[in-house]
Structures are given as C-alpha cells and as structure tokens.
Structure 1
C-alpha cells in the first residue's frame, strides 16, 4: 500500500459495487475500509471482533439482536457506532450511504456464521482500492 494521502471522495468515486468494501490502508492488523451501501445487508455477527462504522454520507440503520431484545440505531452523516463482538446485526440504508469501517484484516463482511454469500456481495474481505 502506498504511503500517500488518500482523499475519501476520490477513493469512493473509483467503484460502484454495493456492500463490497475497498481497503484504503492498514493500521497495525486492521483494515481501514470504505463501502457504498443501499438496501439491506444480511443478519450476521463477528464472534471475535467489534465492528466500527462511521457514516461518511447518507444515513445507515443498524438492526441489533441483543439479550434485551431487538432494536435499531439510526446513524446520520458523521455518526459513529460500534457493534460489540458477537452481536447479531443487519445494516441497511433506504437511500444509500457511504461508510468508513475499521476491521481486523481478513474479517468477513458477512460475519462468521454465514454459509452462503449473498449475491449482492462480491468480496467478503474487501478489495484493494483501485480493484473493480
């Protein structure tokens, strides 16, 4: 990976695929990923890691299944939210959103408990920025 500044708007303009993150750079053992999303993703959980979301544009809703029951959080542009490890969640965006994510390298975007990758996901661990 190049050690040069990366403009987020420029990076986001290089792809159109939804729910298929691009890896901007790495920090220690973590990928810094960007993604475009619209519609619904899948219910999933990450057994061994939290998941960090920053909404760069648009609005994201994350449905959560917690011991106390189901709830949803709505994240407008500029909002940050962390889904705790092991928590089932389902991100969605009615009108579309752009996200920045921090995840351990190799983390699957469909979680650890999925047998089948949905057709709307073309890479479960992200593409290198610039890959189409």
Structure 2
C-alpha cells in the first residue's frame, strides 16, 4: 500500500476493505486504506470496548464489514449488523463495543483523533494509523 498522501501522479489501486480488516492482527488499531478530500477511510478489527469519547468538530461514520457493533451514546445505544452504517454526530459522547470479533470501516476527517481528547492504552496516533498494512 502506498504511503499517504499519494503523490499527484500516483493512482490508487483497488482494494478490499474486508480483506484488509481480516488481515489485521491488532484490535482497536484503525489503519488508513484510502483518502478522500479531507477525509480518511480506515478499517479496523475490534472486540471488547474502546472508550467513552467524543470528537468535538468531526462526525464519524461507522460501517460494519463483518459481525456486529454496538455504539453506546448517552441517550441511546445503536446496534449495527453486517452491512449497516451509522454516523455519530460531532460532539456526541460514544463508546463502541463488539461482543465478538467485528470488522469495521470508518470514514473520518483527517483531523479526527482516534479517541478524541481521551487517551487510553488503546488510543492510536495518526502515524500508527498510517502504517502500511
């Protein structure tokens, strides 16, 4: 996979987010697989609980590639099944949970911090997310 950002003359290659997610060995460690204008497309393998956090200035799109993902919010919990998507609006505190292994795709602005202003052992820096898969 190319390092980001791509040079102007480089064309990206087709990829399967599902296959990339399956190949990951770390949980809760999103990897950038594409960039789109001011956003990154990321995939991750998750299980268990991430952390309560929010992104004050960015919406966050979750798309379930495999499995099931619950997203706790202060006023409700949504449960996403394979093929379903949900956008957590900016400023909304949320906590993703996967009872079993789950593969997800995220679309986030490049400025989005992994766990917002919360820092935990699971928090990943942008440089970690940009590592080749």
TM-score (norm 2): 0.84
> Is the 1:17–1:36 Cα contact (8 Å) retained in structure 2?
yes
Q: What do residues 66-97 of structure 1 show as CA deviations (whole Å, max 9, x unaligned)?
A: xxxx2111001111100111000000000121
Would you tell me which structure has more strand in proportion to its own residues?
Answer: 1
From 35, 60, 71, the counterpart of 1:26: 35
Deviates more, 1:27-36 or 1:6-15: 6-15
**Structure 2 counterpart of 1:14, from 6, 11, 23:** 23
Deviations 1:15-58 (A, max 9, x none): 21111100001000100000111000100000001110000000
**8 Å contact 2:22–2:45 — kept in the other structure?**
no
Aligned residue for 2:99?
A: 94
Name structure 1 gaps, 5 residues minimum.
none
User: Between Structure 1 and Structure 2, which shows a larger proportion of helix residues?
Assistant: 2
Contact 1:14 1:130 in 2 (8 A): no
What SS class does the counterpart of residue 20 from structure 2 fall into? helix
Q: TM-score, normalised by structure 1?
A: 0.85
**Aligned-residue CA RMSD (Å):** 1.6
> In 2, distance between residues paired with 1:33 and 1:100?
6
Please tell me whether the aligned partners of residues 110 and 124 of structure 1 are also in contact (alpha carbons under 8 angstroms).
no
Residue segments in structure 2 that go unaligned for 5+ positions in a row:
3-10
Residue in structure 1 matching 2:81, options 63, 76, 83: 76
